[in-house]
Structure 1
Amino acid sequence: MIGTIVNIFRIRDLRNKILFTIALLIIYRVGFHIPNPGFDHGRIAAVFETGRDTESPLGRAAEYLQMFTGGTLSRSSLFGLGIMPYITASIILMLLGEVVPALKKLRQEGQTGHKKIQEYTRYLTVLICIVQAVMYMKMLGGYTYPGMQVQAYIMGILGMTAGTVFLMWLGEQIDEYGIGNGISLIIMAGIIAQMPWAILRLAQQVDFTVGAPTGSIGPARILFLIGAFIFVVAGAILITQGQRRIPIQQAKQMRGRRMYGGQRHYLPLRVNHGGVMPIIFASSFMMFPPIIVQMIADRFRGSVVLQAMVGALRGDAYTYNVLYMLLIFLFAYFWVTVQFQPREMAKNLRDSGSFIPGLRPGRRTAEYLETVMTRITYFGAAFLAVIAVVPTFLTYFLNIDWTITTFIGGTGLLIVVSVSLDLVQKIEANLIMRSYDGFSSSGRIKGAYA
């Protein structure tokens, strides 16, 4: 491992890319300490630190958003919205690309169409930023300095919108001049930045003395948390790398007196084809029903049915977690339906002179690929559903803060694992391309086969 790290810094081009990426990520983190003007940040920090709420629907939603932005609600910074508006805009245009003929045609135009879609994504990002910034300013409206409410609102909306646009530009610079995958690296940096605070909160609750209070964490729980973290990370790596390899036979062709083709290779189908997107969709969707039901129940306090619905939609309720897992399954299959195109794959195989042994090219091959993907998606969705409820399970049964257990499972952990694996593979590809050994002693890191 040490030799591999030395080799990384021996290669000038790779070294410059990594250092450039690190420098831009440092700029990203520094931006969270630049506050929005016009707000009394001392009062905001005092209120949010003393009144931290992770049990109510609004509190859960706020904690979930904080995980992706990399900041805290107690710090009204220019980068407070993070990069999530850009991700939201990208997902919206990606889904619209399947139903709007004009966008679908742009996607098929190659690099020119991709640049045009990127331009639309930037415009939509600005619109989403303005909407989210207005909501953010309304939430912090009572903490402005006297006589500066209007100015603070305007500067806050413009500042947070400009902050997200700047982060979007940073991600594009990492893609072009850095190691690549800039937007994902920014999200991962925001999640990892929350980890020291979670460790600090865990350390504050640890008590190894005899007769420790009920809410404290003893050595048995610490060992269990470490074991659960290792087990979940290993499972996340396995399912992220897992793939079903479909054998592909290339047809033989006679050119002159020589025979070409006839090679046998494989078509890899990922077990978790949707990645972390099904959990993000399900989590985002499940934020709204508890908030809406809570608002209605506060208006009609005498309704027994509404109070029962509020209890059923609590984060630790059985009903809530079952609905959450069902939505993950639903969005996993939905994402595969949108992204996986078996007919195009079958057409490309036929045009290249390749076929799956035992299957006729064309329609029969497309049906087979769709059947295989449907089956393996079930196991990928099941794994995502289990990972998603691990934080709630640990919070309920071990009485550990939800902000701590989110790093043992859930969306944040899967994002960190996926982006880390992708980063390692990019660096390893650069090393192998220049005749250096990769991170693994047996060669390139490969996926697990199903």
Structure 2
Amino acid sequence: MWQKFRAIFTIPELRQKIIFTAILLGVFRIGYHIPLPVVNQAQLAANMDSQSNELAKFFTNVAVFSAADLKQVTIFGLGIMPYISASIILQLLGSVWKPLEDLRKEGETGRKKINEYTRYLTVAMCVVQSMMFLGTMLSSGDGQASTIHPDFLSGNSLHWSWYITCILTMTCGTMFVMWIGEQIDEFGIGNGISLLIMAGILAQMPVALIDFTTNMKWSLTAFSEVGIEHIVVLAILFVAVVFGVVFITLGQRQIPTQSAKHVRGRRQFGGGRQYLPLRLNQSGVMPIIFASSLLMLPAFIFGLIASSFAGSESDSGQTTAKFFYELQGMFASGTSFTYIVCYVILIYFFSYFWTAITFNPKEMADNLKDFGTFIPGYRPGRRTAEHLEKVMVRITYVGAAFLSLVAIVPTFVSSALNVAPNVASFYGGTGLLIAVSVAFDLIQKIDSHLVMRDYRGLLEP
């Protein structure tokens, strides 16, 4: 293995790509810790940890896949989330809006035009999200701007000039992060945006490890405290979860295909047998992202309704407020039976929804037909498309079950083993899926450079 790693740095082109990528990731992490001058970071972190602010919890949940720490308002405070949102919106529109769908079929020219539209939409979303972010995070529960230094206050609110400055700063910070990702794509190694997200996830590991070791007792005690037995159980569980994530992430359903034979001169071409690989987890982490984000809204809405009835002096008003507070508690805790059932249902729904958007069996069947390839036992065209759709429905069911299991593992780890949520989050959920997927993508790109120069790949025995 050491010889393989040494071979990586003996290739000048690959070595330059890796160093360039590492430098840009370092620049990203430096900007990640530069705060906006108007914000009292300690007070903001305390407000974010408050369990009563459901919208703040929503932003904290989004921070997992936005490469940002939303407990701090920094110049990169929005992370890469606006760009991801803009990309998702245009991808969805490309499936239902004819002009954008035609643009996607134009090849490299269409892709460049869509990227240009994505940048414009990213700027607009940066402005909107930074306004929402500042309006929520820079105020406490009573509406007072307690997280702003007094020197920047005009009355009880942030002065308009500093408000605009913060919005422009965060917008420029996100656009700079997007530029870093594009530079990694062009001159570095790996997918730039994905590497930035993974860097944000892995950067939370030291903090989680410190919190875990601080509360740990080095003795064989009962499971009421974090002791030595927890380390053994958590280590075994971590290996098992990572093994399952790797197995399903790389899992494929291979459909046999046959190429038609054709003769040119005295030579015969085609007639070979290949396989069409269909991923078990075709939708990736998007179902978990959509489901977890959507499930934060009921708690926030129920809390607003309950607070509106809480001031009523009638018995019916107090009863109604109590009822909605109970509903809020079920969705805010994240551990109730109702929350878990809704979570699993939404993951299944979004798994099929996202697969239907990204996987087009009719288009794939037409491509196979155009290249003279067919699936044995199925006529080219409509029958092939129906077969591909039937197979995809079945394997999506398995992939959704896997996503549901991975999504709820951190909840059971946190509650059953009395482990902090920031530690349990590394045993499943969006962060683990992203880290594993990006790591494999990076290794495959490095392997392509090694194999091209007659070296053995990192994954080869």
TM-score (norm. length: structure 2): 0.91
When residues 140 and 31 of structure 1 are mapped into structure 2, their CA distance, relative to the original with a 3 A threshold, is: same
Q: Secondary structure at the match of 1:313?
A: helix
Q: For structure 1, which segment, 381-390 or 293-302, has the greater mean C-alpha deviation from structure 2 after superposition? A: 293-302
Q: Residue 350 of structure 1 contacts residue 362 of structure 1 at CA under 8 Å; is this kept in 2?
A: yes
Residue 445 of structure 1 corresponds to which residue in structure 2?
none
SS of 2:217's equivalent in the other structure is coil
CA distance in 2, matches of 1:47, 1:14: 42
Kept in 1: contact 2:216–2:226 (CA 8 A): yes
1:201: which partner in 2?
Answer: 211
1:60 positional shift: 3.2
Distance 2:84 2:106 in 1: 22
Q: Which amino acid aligns with 2:150?
A: P
1:278 equivalent in structure 2: 287
How much does 1:226 deviate?
1.1
Taking structure 1 as reference, are residues 2 and 370 closer, same or farther at Cα in structure 2, changes over 3 Å only? same
Determine helix, strand or coil for the equivalent of 1:232: helix
Native 8 Å contact 2:344 2:404 kept in 1 = yes
Contact 1:274-1:335 within 8 A present in 2 as well: yes
Aligned partner (choices 267, 273, 280) of residue 264 of structure 1: 273
2:295 is paired with a residue of what secondary structure? helix
Say if 2:32 is the partner of 1:35.
Answer: no
Counterpart-to-counterpart distance in 1, 2:369 and 2:222? 69
Alignment of 1:38-53 (within 5 A): 38-39=38-39, 41=40, 44-46=41-43, 48-49=45-46, 52-53=49-50
Deviation at 1:369, TM superposition (A): 0.7
Unaligned 5+ runs, structure 2? 140-144, 153-157, 311-317
* Alignment partner of 1:131 out of 117, 128, 132: 128
AA aligned opposite 1:179: I
What is the total number of aligned residue pairs between the two structures? Answer: 438
Whether 1:438 aligns to 2:457 is yes
| 2:324 equivalent to 1:306 | yes
SS at match of 2:129: helix
Match of 2:249, SS state, is helix
Give SS of 2:263's match: strand
Partner SS for 1:378: helix
State yes or no: 1:316 paired with 2:325: no
Q: CA deviation at 1:66?
A: 3.2
Kept after mapping to 2: 8 A contact 1:37/1:155: no
1:160 Cα deviation from its structure 2 partner = 0.5
**Counterparts of 2:123 and 2:448 in 1: how far apart (Å)?**
35
Equivalents in 2 of 1:376, 1:74: separation in Å? 38
Q: Are the equivalent residues in 2 in contact too, given 1:66–1:73 (CA < 8 A)?
A: yes
- Tell whether the 8 Å contact from 2:60 to 2:71 is kept in structure 1 after alignment: no
The CA deviation at 1:210 is 6.5
How does the TM-score come out when normalised to structure 1? Answer: 0.93
Structure 1 residues 30, 260: closer, same or farther in 2, change over 3 A?
A: same
What is the aligned-residue identity percentage? 50
Cα drift, residue 348 of structure 1:
1.1
Deviations 1:308-344 (A, max 9, x none): 3223313111101110111111011011100111111
Report the 3-state secondary structure (helix = DSSP H, G, I; strand = E; otherwise coil) of the residue aligned with 1:244: strand
Contact 1:242 1:271 in 2 (8 A): yes
Provide the C-alpha distance between the structure 2 equivalents of 1:71 and 1:358, rounded to a whole number of angstroms. 51
Contact 1:171 1:181 in 2 (8 A): yes
Q: Following superposition of structure 1 onto structure 2, how do residues 67-106 of structure 1 map, counting pairs within 5 Å?
A: 67-106=64-103
Q: Secondary structure at the match of 1:435?
A: coil
Please state whether the residue corresponding to 1:300 is helix, strand or coil: helix
Residues 144 and 152 in structure 1, CA contact (< 8 A), matched pair in contact too: no
Equivalent residues in 2 for 1:154-169 (5 A)? 154-169=164-179
1:210 and 1:422, CA in 2 relative to 1: closer, same or farther beyond 3 A?
closer
- Number of the residue aligned with 2:314: none
- What does residue range 229-378 of structure 1 map to in structure 2 within 5 Å? 229-301=238-310, 302=318, 303=320, 304-314=322-332, 315-378=334-397
Which residue number corresponds to residue 140 of structure 1? Answer: 138
Name the structure 2 match of 1:411: 430
SS of residue matched to 2:255: strand
Letter matched to residue 355 of structure 2: V
CA distance in 2, matches of 1:229, 1:55: 31
Q: Tell me the C-alpha RMSD between the 2 structures.
A: 1.8
